[in-house]
Amino acid sequence: MNSPELTQFLQQLHYPNLDKTLEELHLLGNIHVNDTHASIELLTANDNSFAILKAFLKQQLHQHFNTLEIHTNTSEKQMRHYGDTAQPNNRAPYASNVIAVTSGKGGVGKSTVSINLAISLAKQGYNVGLLDADVYGPNIPRLSNTDTERIRWNDNNQMIPSENFGLKIMSVALTTPKNDTPLVWRSSVAVSALIQFLEDVAWGDLDFLVIDMPPGTGDIQLTMAQELPITAAVLVTTPQIVATDDVSRAVMMFKDIGVPMAGIVENMSYFIAPDTKIRYDIFGSGGGERIAQKYHIPFLGAIPIEMTIREASDRGEPPAALGTKEQKQYYDDIVTSMCQSITFTTRS
């Protein structure tokens, strides 16, 4: 094989478990063949997808070259384009709207925001499904008090989602022997499991499928955007990380792949002392609004940091369902702003 032949071969290869080729995903950098030595540069977004693709290419090419050098271009990493998902697959035709709750960083409150927004939508009478796409750190069963449930099948061989607080809920944590069994899947297997959750779960007709994404901008986010027409993404951030590259990267990723941003939620925004009622802007103020302005994305609202939000969430008592009037209002207001920022499809 010479350089053009190798380039052509690589361009048409499909990324493991995806319907997209390496060319469509813009993953190929410089490619050189020199006699029996090949050098391939991959423009992968993170170490995980680099490892997957490297292993896959070694397996595909080991017979063709004596030495095969596969490396990643770190300077390209930051500004990588994720491809155009103008026409993604639709693995969830039963859902009128798909909302992806995401963030650039871990621990900012995506799962807490996901379940409470989903409950707020369900309270308005919508049929709502909640998919826990965080296969390595699934928290939704605990947050929804369904963590003792295990997976069941119906007569059509479909998985039956758990139900609580008016939501249908699916998570890998329901499929493991115990809720806290760690998952050691490779990312490509995790991606296949999520596709199965989209296709083989008895969700019924949904007005909204809310997806609690894992942190970051990796394979799972990319797959979900390719396998589903995501109506809108909700970006969760905390004041202290709004200015970081992680947030920008998450915004750029969704822009790149053509997913509309419903807006930004600033979580753990401020603290009101329960005794004195004095407000403390522990992490500064106005960060979420600044980033919303910078990227021309709506600011959907702020949720303060409250001990009772954490305590109730840990007990599986979501504030949007069982919290104080004020706590319910935080999430209801965000849902109202979200519905103003995006035109959702309503079933007649």
Ligand X SMILES: Nc1ncnc2c1ncn2[C@@H]1O[C@H](COP(=O)(O)OP(=O)(O)OP(=O)(O)O)[C@@H](O)[C@H]1O
Which residues contribute to the site for ligand X (CB under 6 A)? 103, 106-112, 134, 137, 139, 215, 267-268, 303, 305-306, 309-310, 313
Pick 162 or 267: Cβ nearer ligand X: 267
- The pair of three-digit structure tokens given for residue 255, joined into one six-digit string: 């822009």
**CB 308 to ligand X: min, Å:** 8
Pick 53 or 117: Cβ nearer Mg ion: 117
Pick 57 or 99: Cβ nearer ligand X: 99
Length of the chain: 348
**CB 112 to ligand X: min, Å:** 3
Q: Per rule CB under 5 A, is residue 144 in the interface with Mg ion?
A: no
| Beta carbons of 70 and 42 less than 8 angstroms apart | yes
Q: How far apart are CA 302 and CA 269, in angstroms?
A: 6
Q: How far apart are CA 110 and CA 284, in angstroms?
A: 20
Interaction partner, residue 306 (Mg ion, ligand X, none; CB < 5-8 Å by kind): ligand X
Q: Per rule CB under 5 A, is residue 231 in the interface with Mg ion?
A: no
- Give the 3-state secondary structure of residue 250: helix
Q: Per rule CB under 5 A, is residue 267 in the interface with Mg ion?
A: no
**CB 306 to ligand X: min, Å:** 5
**CB 80 to ligand X: min, Å:** 21
| Beta carbons of 27 and 53 less than 8 angstroms apart | yes
Q: What is the β-pairing status of strands 279-280 and 271-272? A: antiparallel
**CB 273 to ligand X: min, Å:** 14
| Beta carbons of 247 and 238 less than 8 angstroms apart | no
Q: How far apart are CA 305 and CA 121, in angstroms?
A: 22
* Binding-site ranges for Mg ion (CB under 5 A): 110-111, 134, 139
